[in-house]
Amino acid sequence: MQLRIGLLGGGSWGTTVGSLLARNTPTLLWARNRDTVAEINEQHTNKTYLPDARLSAKLTATADLEKATREADVLVVGIPSQGFRGVLEEAAPYVRPWVPVISLSKGLEQGSRLRMTQIIDEVLPGHPSGVLTGPNLAREIMSGFAAASVIAMEDEVIVKALQKVFHSGLFRVYTNTDVIGCELGGALKNIIAIAAGMGDGLGAGDNTRAAVITRGLAELSRLGMAMGGKSATFAGLAGMGDLVATCTSAQSRNRYVGEQLGKGRELSEIIAEMNMVAEGVKSVPAVKELAREYAIEMPIVDEVHRVVQEGGKAGGAFRGLLRIGSGAESDPG
């Protein structure tokens, strides 16, 4: 029997995952925008978020949240982190018991500092929760390029069953039971990508970018392991893989924000012109608070916070990083 998928969210990644899933099993995507719904159903495109992509003709869409949710055997949530809880609470009355819920979001909720699976556990207690994450640039996947992802859940039986549902052609999906590490890798790398982008905007060069990526990996690994993640996760697709893709690709929203900041533009102006969310901007206050709580030194995060939350300049951020003393590579900072 084929599993019926309800997918909430019609952005670039939600639409991409929906198109991949539809190749394997009936998939109904929910979006608030009725024009987007009509375009997916009638033209098999979503030009606002994936301008050159052709979606699977098997993917269908609806603006009716109850319809997308009530018959779903698996619920996939592709809503940005700050709207995640609200949409899930709207959908909660229609979700059948024990249906697994998989997050596509890479962020932390402001205020609560919760990961998305923690929000799922709060809003839908008793439902197996998980995350799909990794170095996944939506436009490349829709263009047919090979990519690899990780689906993480604590239940090994369920995660292996869902692996087959998400795996599609050149989109390879691996399993992991380290939900904490996989989610934190996805959330924290966005902040490091802003730092890498600032360096690109300032013309800092490839050596600097490599240093930011490598030291950034050390930062996110330290915090991630302090919070319960496993070191192997941060060396894999959900950690290093996602970090490299997000810090180097011209398609990366977070790197783009950093690059534009490096060129001297104001954050409000950059955000206003984007039709997609740069999760790192929203997550950095929560990460800074977590670093303080767990007594983890995160100088790159501190400098990104100073720029995006306190109005500092990108050039000053890099001067601040250079002023930090260097010791053994294994030391913090």
Query: What is the domain partition of the chain in residue ranges?
Result: 5-177, 181-323
pLDDT at position 43 over 70 = yes
- Looking at CATH, the fold of the domain delimited by 181-323 is given as N-(1-d-carboxylethyl)-l-norvaline Dehydrogenase; domain 2 (1.10.1040)
> Three-class SS of residue 211?
helix
Q: What are phi and psi of 324, to 5 degrees?
A: -70, 130
Q: What is the dihedral of CA 151, 155, 160, 165, to 10 degrees?
A: -60
Q: Which CATH superfamily is domain 5-177 in?
A: NAD(P)-binding Rossmann-like Domain (3.40.50.720)
| CA–CA separation, 88 and 125 (whole Å) | 12
- 324 three-state secondary structure: coil
Question: Hey, which residues are catalytic here?
Answer: 189
**Per-residue pLDDT, 25:** 96
**pLDDT one-digit tens code per residue, 232-281:** 999 999 999 999 999 999 999 999 999 999 999 999 999 999 877 788 89
pLDDT surpassing 90 at residue 94: yes
Tokens of 156: 């090994």
Question: Is 88 strand, coil or helix?
Answer: helix
pLDDT at 221: 97
- Closest listed residue to residue 247, CA positions, set 207, 210, 202: 210
Task: Tell me the pLDDT of the chain averaged across its residues.
Answer: 93
* pLDDT score of 17 more than 70: yes
Asked whether residue 317 carries a pLDDT value surpassing 90, the answer given is no
How many separate helices (H) and strands (E) can be counted in the chain?
16, 8
Q: Does this chain's domain 5-177 share its CATH topology with 181-323?
A: no
pLDDT at 333: 54
Is pLDDT at 93 greater than 60 in this prediction?
A: yes
Q: What's the mean pLDDT in 38-46?
A: 97
Give CA separation, 114 vs 65, 82, 110, 117, 265, in Å: 24, 11, 8, 8, 31
Residue where the block lists tokens 């030194």: 297
